[in-house]
Each structure stands twice: as C-alpha cells, then as structure tokens.
Structure 1
Amino acid sequence: MKTITPLVRPGSSLRSRHSSLDIVALLIALTLIAIVCVPLIQVVVGMVWKDGGFSLEAFERTLAIPDLGSLVFNTLVVVVVSSACAVVIGFLLAWANQRTDARLGILNDILPYLPFLLPPVAGAVGWTMLLSPRAGLLNAWIRDALSLVGIHMESGPFDINSWYGLIMVYTIYAVPYVYMNVAAALASFDSSLEEASRLSGASYLRTLRKVTLPTLAPSVGVGFLLCTWFGFGMFSIAAIIGTPRRSTSSPCGS
C-alpha cells in the first residue's frame, strides 16, 4: 500500500519563518512607537486641553517670552551652521577611512563615534573647564607659554562662551550622524562606476561631481537631517556654554 506524501513547495518553511519574523518585528516596532508617541500625545493634549476645556494658554505664554524671535533665530543659526560643518567633517572622515590608506587601524572606526559615549552635558562642562576665558586649563597653559616670550594676557586666547565655541561643541556631537551614514554608503558603493568614469576620460573632480556625490547625496542628506533633528534637542549645550555670554552681553545660543 502506497503512502501519499503531501506536496510541500520548496521554500514554504522559509517563507513561514520570514512571516513569523516579520510579525515579531512589527510588534516590536509598534511597541516602540507607542512608547514614544503616547507621552508625546499626552503632552500635546495637555497643552490645548485644561480644566475640562479647550485652552491656548500654553501657546500664549510661549509667545509672550521676551526676545522669542532672537532666541529662535540664534537656535537656527547654531543648528544649521553646526550641521553644515558636521557634514563637511563627517564626509571627509568617512572618505579618508573608506577610500584612502590614511587609517590608524581600529582607531579610525572608534574615534568618530566617541561623542556618542559622552553625554552632551558632560561634554559641555568639559569644554568649559578647558576653554573658559579665565579659568580654562588649556587657556591657562597657553597664557603661561606666551608669557615666556613676553606676551602677557589676562584671559583667553580662546573663549568657549562664544558663537564659535558653541558651534564647535554642537559640531563635535553632530559629526557621528553624518559619518555613520556616509561611511556605510561608501562601504557598499560600487567603485567600478568611478573606474568606468575615469576610463571614459573624466577627471577626478568630474568623477566626484558626476558619479560619487550624486550617489552619496541621499546619505549626506540623511546625515544633515539627523544633525538638525538632534541639534534642536541638545539644549543642555547651549544652556551651559551660552548662558554665561547671555548674562554679560547679547545671547549667543538657543
């Protein structure tokens, strides 16, 4: 007596396994979305719904903040300029790491991500201790060295509580977002496209402008958006570095 074996299509078990993983991934994603969105929705509802009725009191108090326009403008300047600087630095670091021999081994893979290991509050405090106009350690060492050649200074030469100091610290924390996107794109980039361009007679600059940069543009754009997104949220840097300048003169930060 013959036994009839059921016909199993090849790959059906693999598809079922993938569908199971998709369901688990979807559940995890929905859970993460709920964790992020539920508190945010509660905050938004609390802003417009107060004492059982619709209210715009929170927005009125926000619009009544003194110098609100200058604060918004200063924040935009710091975030946009630091993001633009981070794009240039992150792109060059990724290019040197992926396309040249200028490597320091594992240090090249670790150094661009070091800002992730240090919270912005600690980084801002550290830079303040180094480059504070009068009490900064680095400034004190530079003044001591200059005094040996007859140049005496009471403060400086660097001032972390300034526009360039604020933008510098923001840029340091923004570089990893550009680097990780551009480095990943360069690692998967097909170099034969550049070789074909060079064999066709195009120069290095033309190849960079016509082949490389258009291919990497999405990664650079994502890195810039991440820099601006997290830049608007890094209020602690501006509060620590910009507040001393604001107390003595015009505001220099968000």
Structure 2
Amino acid sequence: MAAIDRTRQTLVTLKKELTKLAGELAPSTRGSAFISWWTRVQLALPRALGQDHPITQRVLAVEWEKPMTIGGRVFPFGQFSEAAAREVIGLLDAAVHELDWLAAESGAFDAAGVDPELWEFVAADVQAAHWGKTVSQTALFTEDRIRRWTGQPADLVGEKLMTAVFGKDGQYRMGAIDGEREGWHRLAMGVAMAVRNPAAHRIEDRADHRRYALGALGAASLLLTQLRFEHGDRLVDRSPTHPDATPSGQTPTADSTR
C-alpha cells in the first residue's frame, strides 16, 4: 500500500506543478521547469497506471505547443497551450481517482514484503491490476535472475534449470538439512512448473486472478529472498554472455563469486 500512496502523491504533486506553470505569464515548453515536469509525467504515469491505460495514452499524446500560422503555414513557437494544460490537469485528477479505485479494489498490498528488484519489474502491472501479466512477468524475472546469477546456459529453462541450481547436485542448494533442501528445490520447481508454465501457454480467466497473481508474486519473492540470504555474496551476473561469467559447469572460485 505504501508504494501506491507514494505514486498517488507523485501524481497529486505533478498536477499542482502544472497548475502553477499554467498560471505563469507565457510559460515555455522549452524552459527547464516544463521539461523537468513533463519528463517526470512521462515516467510516472506508465508506472502508475500502465503504458496502455487510456489516461496514460491521452496525456502522452497531448500537443503542448500553441501553433502560430504565418503565410498559411503552421509553426509551433514554444508556448504551451492553455487548453492542453487544462486537459492534462483534468487527466491527472482522473489518474489520482483511478489509482484510488484500483487500491480500493485490490485491497492493501505492501510492496515492502516483495523482493525489491522483482517488485520494480512488476510494480506497474500490479498497480494497473494487470494480473495475468503480473504472473507471467514474475515467472520471467525469477527464472532469468536465477539463470544469470548462477551462470546457467540460456537454453536451460523451467524444471531443468531449477534442478540444476537447487537439486541434489546443485551448487546453490538452500536449507540446513536434507528436508529443507528438498523443500526449497520443490518450491523452485513449483514456481517453474505451476506458475511459469500456465502463464507461458494460455490466458488465465479466473475470478480470483488478483489473489492468484499476488500469491505467485509472493512465492517467487520468497524463493529469491532465501537465495539472496544464503548465497548473496555469490549472486552476480555470471551468465555465459556476461564478460565476467563463469563457464557453465565450472565451479566458481572464491574470488570469482565476489
């Protein structure tokens, strides 16, 4: 919920800044204040509502420069249109209400409980309630990071990847005793097979899609969190395409894992 609150406050601030800019005498679209504001809008709205949301699309398509006609030809001259400013103020207000509605519909969700890199990757989809995409992107990120961090070849995927990393002969097994190690291996297999496979092969249409998506996110986050906890000092990008990669099948040395 904290992430949604911060996003909401960002949109409110952007709306206030535009209102102030619009009240200035002959504001310019080429001035530093407008450039800074517009850049932040272009970053914030897709993160808040998603790139394909109608509000995002309308704001990003606004033509800011007021045209001037000279000799039958139309030229922009850097002064933003008051009509465009009024439109975007209204759209930002609508974006705030849309975010409130999404938060109320989805219920409280604290992003602090999710692996930070994973959350950064899926935040826009969660906040836009794109639950199917949340699941597929969660599975994609988790598999990609595990493959890269442990130096597995690019064509090793799914069940085989998780077994190579967390299985009996894996170099990144987790847990203190055999039962725990097997449990973490099975969790990784579940993320790969029960979460990744359906998301990769079919569109899920279910009434509990939000709960399902956040559950998938939680399972993947738990796996990554434990991997960081037990092997954090070894987790660098050592994929075969990376210049510092350890060749697949070669045991990393103490120096190469830092």
Q: Rg: which structure is higher?
A: 1
Greater relative contact order (Cα 8 A, min sep 6): structure 1 or 2? 1
Which structure: greater helix fraction?
1
The TM-score, its normalising length taken from structure 1, stands at 0.22
The TM-score, its normalising length taken from structure 2, stands at 0.22
